[in-house]
Amino acid sequence: MGRFSTAEAVEREPGLTARRRLVIVGSGASGMLAAVSARLAARGLGIPDADLRIVLLERNPRPGAKIAISGGGHCNVTHEGAVDRLLEKGFLRKNELRFVKPSIYAFTNADLLGLLARYGVPTAAREDGRVFPVSGFARDVLDAMQRMLREASAELVTGCRVDGLEVSGDRFLLRAGEARFEADAVILGAGGSAWGSSGTTGDGVRLASSVGHAVATVLPALAPVFFAQSPDPGLVGVTLRGVGLVAESGKESDMRRGDILVSHRGISGPACLSLSRSVAAMMAAGNGAPTLFADFFPGHDEPSVAAFVLDHASRNGSQLAKSFLQRCPMAPARLGPGARESGLGVMTIPNAFVPEIMRRAGITEGQTLSVMTRQQRRELVSVLKRFELGKARKVPLDKAEVSAGGVSLSEIDPKTMESRLHRRLYCCGELLDYAGEVGGFNLQAAFSTGWAAGRSAALALFVRPSAGA
């Protein structure tokens, strides 16, 4: 974990007696791990702490504000499993997966959990793979990280918002109000623009842009979706389990599968959080408000669902259509007579949705399956496959767990997090143009990219390539 390897063919820079200063903007997950990693890398080279001054500049009164409130105050620190599986599950866009891959392999979920354990924070994975501190308290993770900072002899300056960054050769000047900070290396780890109440308002992106970095439009990700018209009050608070969620705008569409929670303003839940980035992008493209649909039978096409409904009706003609829908399987793995038996553990369509499904399909309250017309069956199948939930009005950035967009990945070295434009300038964490899925993937990426940035910065300050490198 973060070890310095002689296989990298580096040598200690000779004649270094002057103190070097590393300034890190932001003391969230990526910033704090960058400080710890930088100190460990320097110590691994035999550099006295006095020769590397590490300073974190934090705009909030305390570090780690977002860690403290993440996961509803429980802090989903990472996701369990092999790294390749973690990457595949957590980063659906290939270019973003390729970018975070080197840093996550260099500082894995196992490395992170081992580090936390050494600081007295045991963790446990839930059935869905999400990893939390055993205590259930995010503050335990934050307390451990602050102890790491103290042991790393890192200086923390709070209430210090960086207004400007200037680059002059291998030297940097950071302005924070009347204060000035000179640095030999700078790490931007100030987070993205989501959850503005936690102090993440895009400062790092702004600073990177001010020194020439290209910035992709910042969009909310892992956010609820608010509708133009509030959902039926009878559906508010109801959860659809394992269904498909589809967003369509013009010729654009995207889909996720998972749980959806109907709220008084729209929808939330894992499937919505995962899809919200695409919804926000569709809205930003200006092609009209996306419409969101629930698919009660994901994985089965309309002809298969139609055959299932017809087969059931032919054998149970006297059953009320309402009773059928109340016992109808939701998101079944297979279709057939056994699939509708709730006793087999298959989820059924929530009763609250049944009257609305019937209304949209044109089926009356007392109608039996035997008297349903072909058109009614066709309409019923269409509604079950494309139940319109609403038109998107807003994907609120201030309610998003993370933001997408930010500093262009093409301008950052994925192995070191060093800028390709400015030597000894590093970017890490959420200010980069990636966004993982819900489940601890974004915190893992922040920890890993921060670790890579800190280690790389320390090595850049104190070592040089050998002649044979």
Q: pLDDT tens across 120-153, in order?
A: 999 999 999 999 999 999 999 999 999 999 999 9
CA atoms of 145 and 153, how far apart (whole Å): 13
- pLDDT average, residue stretch 203-222: 95
Residue 420 corresponds to which amino acid? Answer: R
Domains of the chain plus CATH, in order, are: 6-220+400-465 (3.50.50.60), 223-295+392-397 (no CATH), 302-390 (1.10.8)
Q: For residues 61 and 159, is the Cβ–Cβ distance under 8 A? A: yes
Check residue 13 and give its pLDDT.
Answer: 47
Q: For residues 305 and 339, is the Cβ–Cβ distance under 8 A? A: no
Residue in 341, 332, 333 with CA at minimum distance from that of residue 312 = 341
Helix (H) or strand (E) holding 146: helix 138-151
Check residue 70 and give its pLDDT.
Answer: 82
Check residue 426 and give its pLDDT.
Answer: 98
For the chain, give the percent of residues with pLDDT over 70.
91
Residue 468 has pLDDT above 50, yes or no: no
Between 2-11, 155-164, 252-261, 371-380, the lowest mean confidence (pLDDT) is in 2-11
Residue 371 has pLDDT above 60, yes or no: yes
Check residue 338 and give its pLDDT.
Answer: 57
The model's pTM is: 0.89
**Bridge-partner residues for 227, per DSSP?**
392
Q: What are phi and psi of 165, to 5 degrees?
A: -135, 130
Residue-averaged pLDDT of the chain: 92
Q: For residues 444 and 112, is the Cβ–Cβ distance under 8 A? A: yes
Residue in 333, 329, 364 with CA at minimum distance from that of residue 349 = 329
Long-range contacts, stretch 313-320, CB < 8 angstroms, 24+ apart:
313/369, 313/370, 313/372, 313/377, 316/369, 317/368, 317/369, 317/370, 318/368, 318/369, 318/370, 319/368, 319/369, 320/366, 320/367, 320/368, 320/369
What's the token pair of residue 89? 């599950």
Q: pLDDT tens across 305-345, in order?
A: 999 999 999 999 999 999 999 999 999 998 876 554 443 45
Q: For residues 252 and 289, is the Cβ–Cβ distance under 8 A? A: no
Check residue 337 and give its pLDDT.
Answer: 64
Q: What are phi and psi of 240, to 5 degrees?
A: -100, 120
> 178 vs 337, which has greater pLDDT?
178
Instruction: Provide Rg for the chain, Cα atoms.
Output: 26
